[in-house]
Amino acid sequence: MILRLKHIFANHATRTKNIVSKSNFSVISVKNNIISKGIDQKETGMPWKATYPLFWVDVETTGLDLESNILEVSLVVTDNNLEIIDEGVDLVFSYPDTVLENMNSWCKKTHSESGLIDLVKKSTLRIDEGEKVLLEVIKKHCPVPKRAIMAGNSVHFDQMFLFKYMPALQQHMHFRIIDVSTINELGKRWAPETTKYFGKKMGNHRSRSDIMESISELRYYKKTLFSQKP
């Protein structure tokens, strides 16, 4: 019996060793594949996940609830130092007049004054076509699925709309986001003397200008709140 048990444990140990060896081989293969794409932790000093660029998005919609439609979306890509590495795209989508007429008074006024309604009426672009354009830009800078991180102000709002109407994006984006609004709110509470100097936003409710303001805001916080080492 004792000899039989020893034999069983020996076989189990051998199988476990083989499994671990195969697992290590897989990890090494993945790591080498990542490094071959130019993402090397030794060079950056950061975990490889943190070396991917940031994908800044903003949408303009016909309302706040998820039954509303996306009128416009912009995408800008920056590196980790918030330098723009790809100007990205600005997409305005086509809708029938009935969709625009059903917007509430605030949306009608805001999107009319910004010129967005006129652009929607002239557009021939469909949502599914826009999805392909956005995905092409994202994959260009982050080919690995579930790694691309979305950034912006209150970007969870934009994320909800994009994931609903452009589901292919959800398959490629990371579940984490970088929400500049969170830093703003924490700054008001913990560093009010610093954050108050950022200045007032234009807030003209066009997607590209909103993105550029968000990038500028995070640059300010990076310089004032994140520049000191512990």
How far apart are the C-alpha atoms of 72 and 91, rounded to whole Å? 6
CB atoms within 10 A of CB 228: 6
Which run of H or of E encompasses 175?
A: strand 173-179
Encoded amino acid at 219, one letter = R
Buried b (16+ CB within 10 A) or exposed e, 142-171: bebeebbbbbbbebebbbebbbebbeebee
Cβ neighbourhood burial of 99 (10 Å; 0-12, 13-18, 19+): middle
Cβ atoms of 110 and 16 within 8 Å: the answer is: no
Residues marked active site are found at 205
